[in-house]
Amino acid sequence: MSRLYFFILVLLVSISGFSQGMLLPVISVIFETNGESAAINGLHATGLYIGVLLASPFMEAPLRKLGYKPLMVTGGFLVIISLFSFIWLQSIWIWFFLRLLIGIGDHMLHFSTQTWVTSKSTPQNRGRNISLYGLSFGLGFAVGPFMVPLVKTSPSLPFIVSGCISLAAWLFVFVLRNEYPPQGPDETSGDNSAKRFYRAVLFGWVAFLPAFGYGFLETALNGSFPVYALRLGISVDAVALILPAFAIGSIVFQFPLGLLSDRFGRKRVLLVILLMGALCFMTAGLFPSPAVIGGCFFMAGMAVGSMFSLGISYMSDLLPSHLLPAGNLLCGISFSLGSMIGPVAGGWYMQRFESANLFYFITVILICIWLALVFGKTKHSPASESHSFPVS
């Protein structure tokens, strides 16, 4: 696969990150300004990830039959149409449905591009390639919250900008030549998707936890933190500056962590960054000023902002190549479950406890994942065999 193809794949995932990074804080601010409760705000944010979960069981078979490109085309189209629909349809529950459609479209893009990248990477360059993939998502996600101040000009403006940018990137899909995921012995022996999912869980369940943690963290910060910050007396403009600090931190260290994981092992690096992230959020909870929170977000981003890409790399180490489509789907499902639980749990936590500190809640989640990685055991699987992108 050429450099151009690799560039197009990471461009697509960066635009997906941009739309998600814009959608969560923009809608949270709009709802909070309109007087909606934190619980409703958090529940509404789950729409995108419910879409991911609804679509996940039906993704693997079409990918194996049709290849990567058709899923990218369809997913991008759904995202673009949904983004522009926010302009014309002004209803809380219609917006929930649009979020659901964006979740389906985004997952089609993520699943196809992510599987393409992992199936073309060797253990020697897997951390590097997937870190570039994660870096592109982080870049897009970092830019997304900068759309929040546009709400003051017009609530429709962030959706117009995001829709236009997504449309421009989506057109590059048509440059790609279609390819298909690798096949294994189970295709010829009659095994079905359920058995492949079972084997993927058996061999690699522990690698799905970082994806869950990243999803929880992402939506708790982008969905619940704006509400928490406004209640602390932090301005909307300050929130728009603080939120990207996490994504910018992840951008700074995403690629170095990928290289370190190639050298020292994915699990060791994951254990170190989880402890560092927990320490950063504990500090933000102890000293909740805008400057301290912004600095802690940046440092936490440098650490746990790479959880998702490192989790994918770890999963790819544990599974044989023919199970990578199932493994990537399960990573997406884990991410979505975390993303659904994040804003709901964060909203409930703030509403249930009057003096609730959101950052302590996040710290506990990171420590729980660290403990699971330390003590969790998986069944041994043959090493995956794949071909690398010629991007070095």
Identify the CATH number of the domain defined by range 3-178+191-375.
1.20.1250.20
3-state SS, residue 351 = helix
Indicate the SS3 state at residue 298.
Answer: helix
Long-range contacts at 262-266 (CB < 8 A, ≥ 24 apart): 262/123, 262/124, 262/125, 262/126, 262/127, 262/128, 266/127, 266/207, 266/310, 266/313, 266/314, 266/317
Highest-scoring range by mean pLDDT, 295-299, 326-330, 347-351 = 295-299
Q: Which residues contact 342 (CB under 8 A, 6 or more apart)?
A: 215, 216, 217, 218, 219, 220, 223, 224
Q: Mean pLDDT over residues 149-169, rounded?
A: 90
pLDDT of residue 7 exceeding 70, the answer is yes
Residue 265 has pLDDT above 50, yes or no: yes
For 355-362, what is the mean pLDDT?
82
**Predicted local confidence at residue 255, as pLDDT:** 86
Which whole-number Å values give the CA distances from 316 to 26, 208, 379, in the listed order?
A: 34, 11, 14
Closest CA to 325 of 384, 267, 273: 384
> For residue 65, is pLDDT > 50?
yes
Query: Could you report the per-residue pLDDT of 68-123, keeping only the tens digit for each?
Result: 999 999 999 999 999 999 998 878 889 999 999 998 998 888 889 888 888 877 77
pLDDT of residue 140: 83
**How far, in Å, CA of 291 to CA of 295, rounded?**
6
Q: What is the pLDDT of residues 27-64, one digit of tens each?
A: 888 887 887 777 777 778 778 878 878 888 888 888 88
Please report where in the chains the tokens 């998707």 appear, as a residue: 193
CA distance 162 to 10: 17
Contact 317, 138 (CB under 8 A): no
pLDDT band at 139 (very low <50, low <70, confident <90, very high): confident
The confidence score (pLDDT) of residue 143 equals 83
348 pLDDT above the threshold of 90: no
- The pTM of this model reads 0.75
What's the rounded Cα separation, in Å, for the pair 332 and 316?
14
Task: Give the span between the Cα atoms of 59 and 56, in whole angstroms.
Answer: 5
Task: Provide the 8-state DSSP code for 289.
Answer: -
- Give dist(CA 125, CA 67) in Å, integer: 24
In whole angstroms, what separates CA 350 from the centre of its chain? 24
Q: Does residue 368 carry a pLDDT above 90?
A: yes
Residue 384 banded pLDDT, cuts 50, 70, 90? very low
- Residue 120 has what pLDDT? 78
Q: What was the pLDDT predicted at 281?
A: 93
| Residue 196 pLDDT class (50, 70, 90 cuts) | confident
Write out the H or E segment, with its range, that includes residue 361.
helix 358-375
Contact by Cβ (8 Å): 39, 348: yes
CA–CA gap between residue 321 and residue 334 (Å, rounded)? 20
Q: What are the structure tokens assigned to 244, written together?
A: 């990207």
3-state helix, strand, coil in the chain (%, to 5): 85, 0, 15
What percentage of residues in the chain have a pLDDT greater than 90? Answer: 23
pLDDT of residue 385: 45
Q: Which sequence spans correspond to the domains of the chain?
A: 3-178+191-375
Residue with tokens 């149409």: 81
Mean pLDDT score, 113-137: 82
Contacts of residue 294, Cβ cutoff 8 Å, sequence gap at least 6: 241, 242, 245
Could you report the per-residue pLDDT of 280-322, keeping only the tens digit for each? Answer: 999 988 887 888 999 999 999 999 988 988 998 898 888 887 8
For residue 153, the 8-state DSSP code is T
Q: What is d(CA 324, CA 199) in angstroms, rounded to the nearest whole number?
A: 11
